[in-house]
Chain A
Amino acid sequence: MSSLTVESVTRIHNNGFTALADISFHVADRALAAIIGPSGCGKSTLLRLIAGLDPATSGRIRLGDRDVTGVAPGKRNVAMVFQSYALYPHFTVFENIAFPLRTRKVPRETVRREVEKVAELVQMTSRLHEKPVRLSGGQKQRVAIARAIVRQPEIFLMDEPLSNLDASLRMEMRQELRELQQKLGTTMIYVTHDQAEAMTMADDLIVLRNGVIEQAGEPMHLYQQPVNRFVAAFIGSPRMNIFDISNTGGQQSNELLHRLRTAGGEAISRQSPAFVGIRPEAFRLFSDPANDKAITVHVEVSSVERHGVQTLVHGRIPDFPAAAQTICLFPGDFRTSTGDLLKLSVAETGIHLFDDAGKRLG
């Protein structure tokens, strides 16, 4: 029940490795912020700094208006759920959940009442007297969450909490966790490398790469306006198609390349866009020849994946240098087969242009 402010935080590990460089962001009270990025980008390191398990090399961390930079982890009033759950194997579920209260010398009767209350919240009431070994992955997860919420922390930290669960359980827990967080109204920092998890759960996304924030903001904003090629490719599934248009491979520039380069307007085309990004779902079947705002793209189908709810078409675009590969996504059952030449269109607003360093233009 508190906001989180991270100001120019840097973490250099004891071996001299810079895991985080000048990280700043703010998470509003009661919001759920997801930190995402590929493995090794510094997500866990950042979470450990917020928890106080490791000291920041420089920078400040604030909970609400309290500066907790040098404060011991036990005095920060943050709770963390570890990727491995870290349930104490020699304690029962009850004792595990009660542990944070007992270390704070909460009276016996209150402990029992509080533990029972949160156990009910996570639906573990019937397993209170079992040891963690006897529980399934999902149940251990629930106990770990119960242990985190029992002492009503100002902020929850979760390090890839669902990564050890199987796919269907992960979907279910995603939903439950989000509902629980909203019910309790506690700020949550959620680390994951799964962009779908982050997109669906978070109020705010923080995309991290090599210890640097690439972009932060609302999920749909990052989806629509990625600041660079990395974020563009990281957010969204299937990934955005990114084509190199800087080099025509000796070919004459054709109509398609010309239309793409100038899609952002005069000012942008003068900055010579080097890459163009088109989301798989931005392709439409060509229908209205009069609509000159849309760009026509021919795609030669090389394979078709039918998922029922959607159809993924893998193909090549002959007008691009080296007939670049692409993925197109159509809702429902899209009738086409290998070898077809599809005439598709993409709206100008569906075109993302990047310079040769990968930075967004426009």
Chain B
Amino acid sequence: MATIKHTGGALFQSGAERFLAAALLLFAAAVTIAPYLWMLSASFKTGQEMYVFPPTWLPTAPNLGNYIEVLQLPYAGQQLVNSLIYAGGTTLANLILCSLAGYAFARLEFRGRNALFALVLALLMVPTQSQIIPVFLIVKHIPFAGGNDWLGNGGTGLLNTYAGLILPNAATPFGIFLMRQFFIRVPPEYEESARLDGAGSFAIFRKILLPLSRPALTVLAILSFQQAWNDFVWPLILTSTRDMGTLQTGLQLLHSGPDTRWNVVMAAAALITAPMIIVFLSAQRHFIQNFASTGLKG
């Protein structure tokens, strides 16, 4: 495997170039981070200060009132639990199913493999919006679920259930694609050597391949978790009761009226965004660490 060398200072040689590069990067960073800073700032303001013109960047009298109010909202706790179950369940399901499917597509030789993989890829190109109604109907008509008969009629199926939330996203075409691409690049010698040493298929998968695929699994976990955590449309459509809603649907309810209190909305948004930011920051380290190691000739 090739080793990537640091180019060091070679990329930007002169001081002026380096200054320009730093300035551009700073600008991009500022543009990206400004809305978040604004959200944070607003979440500490009082209701009156929200409407002051010109707007203030720093709250004149910062207070935690908005946060306390958000935390005391009815259903806030339940929605957090729902969001965690939805995002956690989706992530776990994707890790297991996508790595197994990706491994099969990468390594096992079976009839129709390429055709099947082409179908998975084709699914990548179908817009999510166009799938919502068919998927909703399928979920509603799962046989024997939610009072349905064996033909899937008569009841509510998996509507308003965790299974209904998670199952449609339990294995995503992108996740399968990601894992297949990863496994294809793992030299087959690892597995062959392990087979010669007497390890069975499952032991090879668990002891050799899964640890090797930590970088890919980390990426998959973050993307799955983030996708489900931020998902608004599917929970909105699937759930009709407040106690099954997720944080995103709760947030939407919070600012749907004409007299929206934006400072409270911003506090809720800050709380909802925080876990994602923490996940990204802590995962960054993993990415870099795991890219380095390879036991092949080097």
Contact = CB atoms under 8 A, between A and B. Distances in A.
Given A74-B197, A103-B194, A89 B297 contact: no
A88 B190 contact: yes
12 contacts: A51-B192, A53-B195, A82-B193, A86-B190, A87-B296, A89-B294, A103-B198, A104-B198, A132-B295, A133-B293, A133-B298, A164-B297
A312 interface: no
A84 B211 contact: no
B259 interface: no
Interface in B244-298: 292-298
A230 interface: no
A183 interface: no
A76 B296 CA distance: 25
B296 A86 contact: yes
Among B203, B211, B293, B294, max chain A CB count under 10 A is at: B293
Contacts of A76: 196
A72 B200 CA distance: 10
A259 B199 CA distance: 64
A131 B211 CA distance: 14
A89 to B, nearest CB: 4
Contact of A89 (B197, B199, B212): B212
A321 interface: no
Contacts of B292: 133
Nearest to B192: A53
A43 interface: no
Contact of A85 (B195, B198, B199, B295): B295
Interface string B90-109: 00000000000000000001
B199 A87 contact: no
A279 interface: no
Nearest to A134: B293
A90 interface: yes
B197 A103 contact: yes
A75 B199 CA distance: 10
Given A84-B296, A131-B293, A137-B297, A74 B212 contact: no
A100 B197 contact: yes
A6 interface: no
A133 B193 contact: no
Interface in A109-135: 131-133
A245 interface: no
A186 B293 CA distance: 33
Contacts of A299: none
A33 B293 CA distance: 35
Interface of A: 14, 51-53, 72-76, 78-80, 82, 84-90, 96, 99-100, 103-104, 131-133, 137, 140, 147, 151, 164
A78 B196 contact: yes
Interface residues of B, number: 25
Contacts of B196: 51-53, 73-74, 76, 78-80
Contacts of A90: 211-212, 214, 293
Contacts of A140: 295, 297
Contacts of B189: 82, 84, 86
B121 interface: no
A151 B193 CA distance: 13
Contacts of A80: 192-193, 196
B295 A133 contact: yes
Nearest to B293: A89
A137 B46 CA distance: 65
Nearest to A52: B196
Contacts of B197: 74, 79, 99-100, 103, 147, 151
B96 to A, nearest CB: 20
B199 A103 contact: yes
Contact of A87 (B109, B198, B200, B295): B295
B9 interface: no
Contacts of B294: 89, 133
Nearest to B204: A103
A132 B197 CA distance: 19
A5 to B, nearest CB: 20
Contact of B187 (A14, A74, A86): A86
Interface in B178-194: 187, 189-190, 192-194
